[in-house]
A and B are shown apart, each in its own frame.
Chain A
Amino acid sequence: MTTTTHDTTIQEAGTGLDLGKRAPAASVVGIIGIIVCLVLMFSGGEAMKIQMMGSYMFGFIFWMGITLGFFGLSLLHNTVRGNWSVAIIRILEAGGGAVSFGAMFVLFLPIVANLKAMYAWADPAKVAADRILKFKAPYLNPTFFEIRLVGYFVLWAGLAWFLRKSAMRQEVSKDFKLEAGRSSWGAVGIVMFFLTCTFAVTDWVMSLEPHWSSTMFGTWSLISACLGALSLAVLIFCVNAHRAPYKDIMRPDLTKDLGNMLFVLTMLWGYTSLSQFLIIWNGNLPETTSYYQARSSNVEPITSNFTWGAVGLICIVGQFFIPFFTLITPRTKKTAMNLAKAAGWIFCVHIVDIYQYIIPALPGGRGPSGPATPALLTDALAFVAIGGIWFFVFSSQAKKAPLLPTYDTRLQEAAQHAH
């Protein structure tokens, strides 16, 4: 069994998939982009500094969400040992591994260096003048923030490193005990993941608007991140479906499973988004409605003809209704080509979603009342720069292991039965 698989891999090595191919290009784009970001952030004019910081925040939170989503989905795979996720587990491990967390930690440092500019609670002058910030100070203060930050990354990177190492050992020894061990640790990991991520999102994003709070926020952000991450993983998998080794496992049932998982997360995203909105809308209290106030039709993001309300509408229709009706159709999930289009769409709308999630919360805001320089340019720059680094890490990690686990041949067997 294994020898046959091995032979085919060698035979088709010429046409085989090499996810590491684009690593050098990604690293060049990433490094140049980050340097430009840092130059603007630390030596530009005062307005430019704040604007670039905001753009950088957007790029960072987006790719951090993707990293966490990859990690979370790999925890899910390790826990339940799902059939469908075997197809993408190596993609998930490559993008949500210890090295990715290391890179994201380093990329967070410019924000840590500028905490005062980003977060009102980090500015002693603002805290002194604000009763609410004073009350929250025992938790929301720079020192504790940094300690927690290190703690999250240590936990995430540590578990990711441990799970990946166990999988690599199983590649060699084929010992099922390792897999059973990962299953137990994965279950513990999911609990840890939800707790730490809730705290992390509260620290990094919710505290951008320190007067506002929502208990749904952590779960909602996490599901949104997992949706974005899964759409990217499925996209990478599906556009390469015709290459070895993926083409040996492709069958309608597999794309159906992956599509259904995207469907589930789409519905969860809709469910949690609506829940948060409904509770806040019903309560109708000034300190909680501020989140939706800042993202309503009264506020303009880029030009005076376009409001955040319109961006929100794009998210409601584009992130929920369109994927919902697309993914409920069996035809979408039948071929990798169709599923790739659906996943690509979700990924693109996820960018808009994160944009309207971060940008209105930033100090200085955007649009006519905010920074004068076209903010979209710096937003795009930070997004591409951090994405470049992310893809560099992803590609170089993906290269290091077989794209499908050699110890788990359930998908190959299923594909053989189907023929």
Chain B
Amino acid sequence: MSHSNNADPTGTYAIVAEFTSAEALLTAAEQTADAGYREIDAYTPFPVHGLSDALRFHDIKVPWLIFTGGLCGAFFGFTLQWYTAAVDYPLSVGGKPFNSLPSFFPVTFECTILFSALTAFVCMFGLNGLPKPYHSIFNTPGFQRASIDRFFLAIEVKDPKFDEKETKAFLEGLGAVAVSEVEH
């Protein structure tokens, strides 16, 4: 079948449907997901509420990575202070114990925030595969309007349910103003 297309960089990338409103896109995304398509994506000029739900997009990797990053930050910040202040170079500050938990709070807290933020930043780029100088979706005719006033829904070739004719007919039945086959 067309599965051999997956590896072929010159073949079809996806079939992309164009809609004129966020509501039309939401309904179409819902129906596409209901029909069993999984490798789908949507492109809109502004964030559309409920779109990720409609696409059945459920990815909780980033929150957990951020949480782990935060924990590492807390550990790093605390250990740094504890090691320097209580082990390596003990200095009496105001007669307080060398290992004084409250005085370590601010830096521990700041390191937690810093590490979480950096993890979020790096992971967001990494998991999204950025930077990406070339993306096939831009071969869609009229795609520049995705940042102006049009809403696009793509079903990618790598979807196991993908079938050139059927998928195209399916998208045409969803009320799209244009359906195009997009090359890699």
Contacts and interface: CB of A to CB of B under 8 A. Distances in A.
Interface of A: 253, 274, 277-278, 281-282, 284, 417-418
A92 B103 CA distance: 39
B96 interface: yes
Interface of B: 49-50, 94, 96, 102-103, 105-106
B102 A277 contact: yes
Q: Is the interface of A mostly helix, strand, loop or mixed?
A: helix
A255 to B, nearest CB: 15
A282 B102 contact: yes
Contact of B50 (A274, A282, A418): A418
Contact of B49 (A253, A277, A284): A253
A277 B49 CA distance: 42
15 contacts: A253-B49, A274-B105, A277-B102, A278-B102, A278-B105, A278-B106, A281-B102, A281-B103, A282-B94, A282-B102, A282-B103, A284-B94, A284-B96, A417-B49, A418-B50
List the 5 closest A-B pairs by CB distance, nearest first.
A281-B102, A278-B102, A284-B94, A278-B105, A274-B105
A282 B95 CA distance: 11
A274 B102 CA distance: 9
Contacts of A253: 49
B173 to A, nearest CB: 23
Nearest to A280: B102
A299 to B, nearest CB: 19
Given A281-B103, A284-B96, 13 more contacts: A253-B49, A274-B105, A277-B102, A278-B102, A278-B105, A278-B106, A281-B102, A282-B94, A282-B102, A282-B103, A284-B94, A417-B49, A418-B50
B55 to A, nearest CB: 16
Nearest to A253: B49
A151 to B, nearest CB: 38
Contacts of B106: 278
Contacts of B96: 284
A254 to B, nearest CB: 12
A284 B50 CA distance: 53
Contacts of A281: 102-103
Contacts of B102: 277-278, 281-282
Contacts of B94: 282, 284
Nearest to B50: A418
A419 to B, nearest CB: 11
B94 to A, nearest CB: 6
Nearest to B102: A281
Contacts of B49: 253, 417
B30 to A, nearest CB: 12
A267 to B, nearest CB: 11
Contacts of A282: 94, 102-103
A282 B103 CA distance: 7
Contacts of A274: 105
Contacts of A418: 50
A281 B106 CA distance: 13
Nearest to A251: B50
A418 B30 CA distance: 12
A281 B101 CA distance: 11
Contacts of B103: 281-282
Contacts of A417: 49
B48 to A, nearest CB: 11
A277 B103 CA distance: 11
A324 to B, nearest CB: 12
Nearest to A277: B102
Contacts of A284: 94, 96
A35 B106 CA distance: 49
B22 to A, nearest CB: 10
Contacts of A278: 102, 105-106
A253 B52 CA distance: 13
A242 to B, nearest CB: 22
A282 to B, nearest CB: 7
A253 B105 CA distance: 34
Nearest to B106: A278
A294 B96 CA distance: 20
A60 B32 CA distance: 58
A274 B106 CA distance: 10
A332 to B, nearest CB: 14
A212 to B, nearest CB: 19
Contacts of A277: 102
Contacts of B105: 274, 278
A223 to B, nearest CB: 18
A281 B102 CA distance: 8
Nearest to B94: A284
A253 B49 CA distance: 10
A274 B105 CA distance: 9
A284 B92 CA distance: 14
Nearest to A329: B63
Nearest to B67: A328
B113 to A, nearest CB: 12
A256 to B, nearest CB: 12
A417 B106 CA distance: 45
A357 to B, nearest CB: 20
Nearest to B26: A417
A253 B47 CA distance: 15
Nearest to B109: A274
Contacts of B50: 418
A284 B102 CA distance: 12
